[in-house]
Amino acid sequence: MARVAIVTGGTRGIGAAISLALRDRGHTVVANYGGNDEKAKAFTAEHGIPAYKWDVGDHEACIAGCKQVEQDVGPVDILVNNAGVTRDGTLHKMTFDDWNEVMRINLGGCFNMAKATFPGMRDRGWGRIINIGSINGQAGQYGQVNYAAAKSGIHGFTKALAQEGAKFGVLVNAIAPGYIDTDMVAAVPEPVLEKIVAKIPVGRLGSAYEIARGVAFLASENAGFITGSTLSINGGQHMY
């Protein structure tokens, strides 16, 4: 059955792949983005998926943005919380603004978007919320106390909201990607990236489309008995 889906950070990288995967499965997809107008317009022009701009770290903007989407295309039954930023640095050098911005967008955005869409899903008796965590939220990472904390928080948020939503038919899960071949990873210095890949048992970076296929499955009817789970897609780099 076709549903309306919102993918935050949905015009670039992993988010773009998720938007396309959900569209290819027949859903009506809206891609949210926060800043890059040029790339958002290019994404819409190429793929025909509308892009709506708002800051997921802004609570009122999320409420207003989701209301506008519902007016334009219909009630939202699938939410993918993918938007995220990095402000890396050791704690010694990290500013409060570096900490706060990552928490505000990466973790706060999950709350804001769920607050805007969960009530409708609950009332209609069907919904899927998929939160994009990270291997670094599971295992930690040097120089990322803000990012690791926010992503770890996403996993706890997922389990708690899953308990609230289950009896209403709203299933909440997370995906924890490993190192994926995106612009964010491409910014890692080559010698550092080589060391990272050397620790991945399958011997390569992941593809954004491998994450997207996981999201598409969790958003489907076939995942009807899965909630409160984290699907790790990391090439075996972190097993637990």
Question: How would DSSP label each residue in the chain?
Answer: ---EEEETTTTSHHHHHHHHHHHHTT-EEEEEESS-HHHHHHHHHHH---EEE--TT-HHHHHHHHHHHHHHH----EEEE-------B-TTT--HHHHHHHIIIIIHHHHHHHHHHHHHHHHHT-EEEEEE--HHHHH--TTBHHHHHHHHHHHHHHHHHHHHHGGGTEEEEEEEE-SBSSHHHHTS-HHHHHHHHHT-TTSS-B-HHHHHHHHHHHTSGGGTT--S-EEEESTTSS--
C-alpha dihedral sign at 92, 98, 99, 102: negative
**Tokens coding 49:** 């998926």
Of residues 33, 147, 209, 240, which has the active-site annotation?
A: 147
Tell me, yes or no, if 33 is annotated catalytic.
no
Between CA 44 and CA 215 the distance in angstroms is 21
Half-sphere exposure (Cβ direction) of 236: Cα atoms closer than 13 Å: 7
Catalytic residues: 147
